């Protein structure tokens, strides 16, 4: 309880700081500018921004010019997510029509500066709020998700979700001198965290075909689970952002819907294991905790760094013990 009271007090103090900071902006309109990086990176930055700028700083626009997750030339976030009256698709004409134009513009780097340097907050404190407010699917996307969730509901329990990442994440690990999370790490993390659980269904989602196959075989052998797989990623070697960015709008559209389906399947499993070297499992973690009321202890990070919500709490109590 002491921890919870402290956390609440910290959020309240941060909200007050945010209010003072925003009061100096003369109620300008705001634009979030998507860049050409991955879906999860942009979704995270947007989740940071929603609690800070929504209903506090004039019209909140989304500039999809460089957002490659879209269905058409003038598409973008709103192709897949509702709430357009609050997160308004940007055009130059709309911005020029604002009484306080030009708007304040933010991208991923400037949002992180506001969060970490100006407000001195962590991601979690804002993203809980941002996901709760803004993660609302368009009806056609929700329909596609529900069809796959119906299939998940029929599997043998417990359902154990694994996110298996390859592709450009492996090169990124080398560039950042970061330890790569291997297939064996995912299975071992589950066995160490929940040693009493055997059988059930292992729900395998990811991009790299060979790594998913290896994870499926190892999970079947070590855990005795049946395997439920997502639709194969279009590129056998896994996700490569530059390659995805060059796809047709039709392929980008279907690829984004499949990404959201995979996220939702993992968000609905009884347990979830991923590598938080990627922002992708972090999004799943927030969906589980914020939208679907999953206990924090059912989602863990298999990377060498233990960045999931449950591990963070354990470290606090172990430090205070």
pLDDT in tens, 111-133: 988 888 888 887 788 999 999 99
Among candidate residues 165, 139, 149, 133, the one with its CA nearest the CA of residue 264: 149
At 27-62, the pLDDT tens digits run 589 999 999 999 999 998 999 999 888 877 689 999
Give the full edge-to-edge strand order of the sheet including 60-63.
88-89, 60-63, 30-33, 104-106
Q: Please, what is the Cα angle at 53 between 285 and 55, to 5 degrees?
A: 110
Whether 321 shows a pLDDT value over 70: the answer reads no
State pTM to two decimals. 0.89
At 64-98, the pLDDT tens digits run 999 999 999 999 999 999 988 899 999 999 999 99
Instruction: For residues 270-284, give the mean pLDDT.
Output: 94
Report the CATH number of the 141-320 domain. 3.40.50.11350
Domain map (residue ranges) of the chain: 2-134, 141-320
Tokens of 112: 């992180």
Q: Please, what is the Cα angle at 185 between 181 and 191, to 5 degrees?
A: 150
Whether 241 shows a pLDDT value over 70: the answer reads yes
Identify the band that residue 21 occupies on the pLDDT scale cut at 50, 70 and 90: very low
Tokens 């979690």 — which residue? Answer: 124
Whether 232 shows a pLDDT value over 90: the answer reads yes
Instruction: For residues 267-281, give the mean pLDDT.
Output: 95
């Amino acid at each position: 309880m002491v921890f919870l009271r402290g956390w609440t007090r910290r959020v309240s103090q941060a909200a007050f700081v945010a209010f003072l900071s925003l009061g100096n902006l003369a109620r300008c309109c705001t634009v979030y500018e998507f860049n050409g990086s991955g879906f999860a990176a942009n979704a995270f930055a947007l989740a940071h921004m929603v609690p800070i700028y929504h209903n506090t700083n004039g019209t909140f626009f989304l500039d999809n010019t460089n957002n490659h997750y879209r269905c058409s030339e003038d598409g973008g976030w709103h192709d897949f997510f509702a709430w357009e009256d609050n997160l308004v698709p940007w055009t130059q004409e709309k911005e020029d029509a604002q009484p306080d134009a030009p708007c304040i513009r933010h991208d991923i780097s400037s949002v992180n500066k506001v969060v970490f340097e100006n407000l001195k907050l962590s991601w979690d404190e804002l993203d809980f709020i941002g996901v709760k407010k803004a993660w609302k699917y368009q009806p056609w996307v929700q329909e596609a998700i529900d069809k796959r969730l119906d299939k998940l509901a029929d599997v043998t329990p417990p359902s154990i979700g694994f996110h298996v990442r390859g592709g450009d994440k492996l090169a990124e690990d080398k560039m950042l001198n970061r330890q790569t999370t291997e297939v064996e790490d995912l299975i071992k993390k589950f066995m160490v965290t929940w040693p009493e659980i055997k059988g059930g269904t292992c729900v395998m989602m990811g991009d790299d075909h060979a790594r998913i196959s290896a994870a499926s075989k190892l999970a079947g052998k070590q855990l005795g689970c049946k395997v439920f797989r997502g639709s194969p990623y279009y590129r056998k070697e896994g996700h490569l952002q530059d390659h995805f960015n060059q796809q047709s709008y039709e392929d980008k559209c279907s690829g984004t819907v499949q990404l959201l389906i995979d996220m939702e399947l993992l968000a609905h499993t009884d347990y979830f294991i991923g590598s938080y070297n990627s922002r992708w499992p972090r999004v799943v973690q927030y969906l589980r905790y914020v939208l679907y009321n999953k206990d924090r202890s059912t989602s863990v990070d298999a990377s060498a760094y233990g960045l999931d919500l449950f591990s963070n709490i354990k470290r606090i109590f172990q430090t205070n013990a």
